[in-house]
Structure 1
Amino acid sequence: MNPKELIEFLKILEKLKCNTRHSWTTNKRQESVAEHSWRLAVLAMLMEPDFSDLDMNKVIRMCLIHDWGEAVTGDIPAFIKTENDVAVEEKATGALLEKLPDSLKAPLSSLFEELSLMQSKEARLVKSLDKIETLIQHNEAGTDTWLPLEYELNMTYGNEICDSFPQTKKLRDQVREDSRQLIMEEKRGNGK
């Protein structure tokens, strides 16, 4: 990419810093898509020793790019996202990838396709960690930021995909226990 093209592409991706997610941070502001993607990649990097049989470079790259379409579409929370929303986001991702030179377009398109198909261990790990990072963020923000449906979601969201690996199952179990503790603390604080 020439410098002008690179800057123009980064300008599009900058929207990931601006587009907020349903999640809140500990200082009670909405989290950006970029912040989520960054911490997801860090989570994968920190778990690298637990997954020596996987291509963790690929996993981290998938983490960094998995929400690129949301630079165009914005974030739609998983609990209301429809198949049509997914298709629109995939189309937006495809349009972004078309802006790249072939030397980048081909490998990144391949990563997106692998993520979409969810057939590789790497793709399943990214999906598992994506769900876990979201739940960790919900817990960190506290129950005062949760919608009523999230009390149940924090117990069930991502359970099936997280069972794909013993390591993600164990982490998901801990996050669920952390959620349970938060709910119990809230009940005690409200005198219930």
Structure 2
Amino acid sequence: MTPEKLTEILYLAENLKKNTRHSWLSNGRRESVAEHSWRLSLFAYFVKDEFPNVDMDKVIMMCIFHDLGEAFTGDIPSFYKTNNDEEIEKHKLCEWLNTLPQPYKDELTSLYKEMDELKTEEAKLWKAMDKLEASIQHNEAEIRTWLPLEYELNPVYGEKECGFNEYMKNLQEYTKQLSLDKIAKESKKD
């Protein structure tokens, strides 16, 4: 890859460091998209023993690249994101993928297709962890940063996606309990 193309990619990726998510950190600062992707990759690495038959390198790649479309559009919380928003993000990402040299163009196009289809164990695991990481981040943040709808959403966020695997179901249940405990603690203050 030429130095110019590599630099162009890194400049694009900087948007993920600048673009903030709806989630807040425990120190009261908004989380960046890049921080979410990084921690999601770390998450994947540390559950690899639970998934010996899964290509964890591929899952980590999914974690790294899954929100790259947000470098073009910014982050839109899942509960506000429309089908039109999804299509715009996908279109801009596809345009960008077509500018990549080989083999990167084909490798990433194939990876995004696998992620969209959600048929492989790797894609299912990435999607479940993506949901859980967001829920875990909400549990770490001050509850005053939660929107009213998140009192209902956060405890069940990722439940459907985690249903494919017993370990992930247990992890979602544990995360749900942390959410419920946080909500109960806040209720006692009133």
Q: So what's the TM-score if we normalise by structure 2?
A: 0.98
Corresponding residue number in structure 2 for 1:16: 16
Deviation at 1:58?
0.3
Corresponding residue number in structure 1 for 2:119: 119
Amino acid at match of 1:147: L
CA RMSD of aligned residues (A): 0.8
Which whole-Å deviations, capped at 9, do the CAs of 1:33-87 have from their partners, x for residues lacking one? Answer: 0000000010010000000011110000000000000000000100111111111
What secondary structure, in the 3-state scheme, does the structure 1 residue paired with 2:103 have? helix
What secondary structure, in the 3-state scheme, does the structure 2 residue paired with 1:14 have? helix
Amino acid at match of 1:153: L
CA distance in 2, matches of 1:187, 1:58: 42
Corresponding residue number in structure 2 for 1:40: 40
Corresponding residue number in structure 1 for 2:86: 86
Corresponding residue number in structure 1 for 2:5: 5
What secondary structure, in the 3-state scheme, does the structure 2 residue paired with 1:81 have? coil
Q: Counterparts in 2 of 1:1-192, with a 5 A limit?
A: 1-190=1-190
CA distance in 2, matches of 1:130, 1:6: 27
Q: What is the percent sequence identity of the aligned residues? A: 47
What secondary structure, in the 3-state scheme, does the structure 2 residue paired with 1:22 have? strand
Deviation at 1:188?
1.2
Runs of 4+ aligned residues of structure 1 deviating over 6 Å after TM superposition are none
CA distance in 1, matches of 2:39, 2:163: 21
Amino acid at match of 1:131: K
Amino acid at match of 1:157: Y
Which whole-Å deviations, capped at 9, do the CAs of 1:67-110 have from their partners, x for residues lacking one? Answer: 00000000010011111111111112112212210211101110
**Unpaired segments ≥5 residues, structure 1:** none
**Unpaired segments ≥5 residues, structure 2:** none
Aligned residues of 2:154 and 2:179 also touching (Cα < 8 A): yes
Aligned length: 190
What secondary structure, in the 3-state scheme, does the structure 2 residue paired with 1:171 have? helix
Deviation at 1:2?
0.7
What secondary structure, in the 3-state scheme, does the structure 1 residue paired with 2:23 have? strand
Deviation at 1:157?
1.7
